[in-house]
Structure 1
Amino acid sequence: MGYMRTEEHLIYSNEIDNKANCRLSVLLSLMQRAADGDVENMGGSRDEMVARNMGWMLTTIDLTCERIPIFNEQIKITTWNKGTKGALWLRDFRICDGNNQEIAKACTSWVLVDSVKRKVLRPSAYPFEIKSNDEDSLGPVPDKINILDEVKLHESYAMTVRYSGIDSNGHLNNARYADLCMDALSVDELDSTSIQGFKITYHHEARMGEVIHILRSDVTDGVIYFRGQSPEGTRYYDACLRLME
């Protein structure tokens, strides 16, 4: 078995929703934390990256769930770098319960960027050694989500990026985009929805003070599509939520 990193986490009361399930955004945050810890453990700390005007940009997440973790449940998040394909860095996640049974998994893609010039860098530009594990894979490279033209989207609401959602770069944190999607669901949908999967592609960073219009589709074959865009039509993200039957 190749190199992997595992972190454990207890689901706390401030991390759950009205059904005592872990919020989707919290699950994505925990995955991001595990990835950050893995990279930092190999020498690429945030301070080192900032000093070199480098940063990681998440491009696509494809998450599949047997079930969502619940309140007071101890979970294990295992992650590993699968190497690169072109400019993409590939990373998988496996989430297990206290009995080491897999309850969720995800394939993700990232790019290394020059934080000043705002351009994508080749993997060879990364100045630290990073361990790869190409022996284990939970799925193929996640394709960018493509919402077909025939999928009808209607506006659900609009929000302004404020302090509560930003990261250290002044951008809306990656995990918070899941909240934007879940906030577009009705009370009845939230009460009756069990998440089977979530896929999101990030197109453009949302900065402090910018307005995002959240669009969604009706439920079609167990799927709801989402889009976040500026008043001028610039796309911030496309996403879809897969519901259990």
Structure 2
Amino acid sequence: RKTHTAYVLAKLALHVTRLPRVDEELTLVTQPERCKRAVNKRITHFYDADGAEVATMDSRWVLIDTEKRMILRKHPEQFDDQWAEDVPLELPMRLPRVAPEDCETLGTQTAAYSRCDMNGHLNNTRYADIVCDAVPWQVWDSAQISDFIISYHREVPRGESFTLRRAALADNQFYFDGEREGKSAFESLLTFKSL
């Protein structure tokens, strides 16, 4: 509040080595990296009780000025001591170029009350729910997710809607795009491996 700043999630990639069990306790180890070109990287490892890695997540965060609604390229001085100089690991985050006409339109999704965060926008986690719900049941019945990539382009304010599109790609992949007001609000890519 003093600096009128907030971190927002710009994109993330998740690699799943194996699905955790519902009752399983995991240990998370996170490594935040200092700001480079206006972005803070954070790598999070998920370990099981034996110390084996279950999943890895690479998330990219940007600091915004909450009053001017713009990304800050230089952080306030008091933020400088919180980050590692370099975290060498990163996961692939490149999304394929898929034209809207190559996608199937699945209808609209709305930033309803239960889907929004305290800032009045569709919560980042809800995008993942939406795209996972849009994967055909037969895929979930015969495969498990191995990689999930999402890139947030524009926020979806509460009460607003976007058009959800899906394209089935080669190699057990599904591409998603959420379009609002003629522009992409987000894109996502889910990769599955057969059971």
Specify if TM > 0.5.
Answer: yes
Q: Is the 8 A contact 1:106 1:138 kept in 2?
A: no
1:159/1:148 Cα in 2 relative to 1: closer, same or farther (>3 Å)? closer
Structure 2 counterpart of 1:239, one-letter code: S
Give CA deviations for 1:135-181 in whole Å, capped at 9, x if unaligned. Answer: 643226x6553424498211123121111111110111111110110
Determine which of 101, 106, 118 is the counterpart of 1:168.
118
- The CA distance in 2 between the partners of 1:113 and 1:55, in whole Å, is 5
Q: Is the 8 A contact 1:156 1:216 kept in 2?
A: yes
Query: Is 2:69 the partner of 1:101?
Result: no
Query: Is 2:29 the partner of 1:78?
Result: yes
User: Helix, strand or coil: the match of 1:188?
Assistant: helix
Give CA deviations for 1:98-130 in whole Å, capped at 9, x if unaligned. Answer: 111101102121110011211111233353343
Give CA deviations for 1:1-60 in whole Å, capped at 9, x if unaligned. Answer: xxxxxxxxxxxxxxxxxxxxxxxxxxxxxxxxxxxxxxxxxxxxxxxxx34321111111
Gaps of 5+ in 1: 1-49
Q: Is the 8 A contact 2:155 2:185 kept in 1?
A: yes
1:151/1:195 Cα in 2 relative to 1: closer, same or farther (>3 Å)? farther
Q: Which residue of structure 1 aligns with residue 193 of structure 2?
A: 244
1:244/1:226 Cα in 2 relative to 1: closer, same or farther (>3 Å)? same
Matches within 5 A, 1:1-245: 50-125=1-76, 127-134=78-85, 136-139=87-90, 143=93, 145-149=95-99, 152-230=102-180, 232-245=181-194
- The CA distance in 2 between the partners of 1:244 and 1:89, in whole Å, is 30
Name which of structure 1's ranges 154-163 and 174-183 shifts more when overlaid on structure 2.
154-163
Structure 2 counterpart of 1:159, one-letter code: Q
Richer in helix (by share): 1
CA RMSD of aligned residues (A): 2.0
User: Helix, strand or coil: the match of 2:63?
Assistant: strand
- The CA distance in 1 between the partners of 2:69 and 2:81, in whole Å, is 23
- The CA distance in 2 between the partners of 1:184 and 1:135, in whole Å, is 37
- The CA distance in 2 between the partners of 1:213 and 1:126, in whole Å, is 41
Richer in strand (by share): 2
Q: CA deviation at 1:234?
A: 2.0
Structure 2 counterpart of 1:244, one-letter code: K
Structure 1 counterpart of 2:81, one-letter code: I
Tell me the TM-score normalized by structure 1. Answer: 0.73
Tell me the TM-score normalized by structure 2. Answer: 0.90
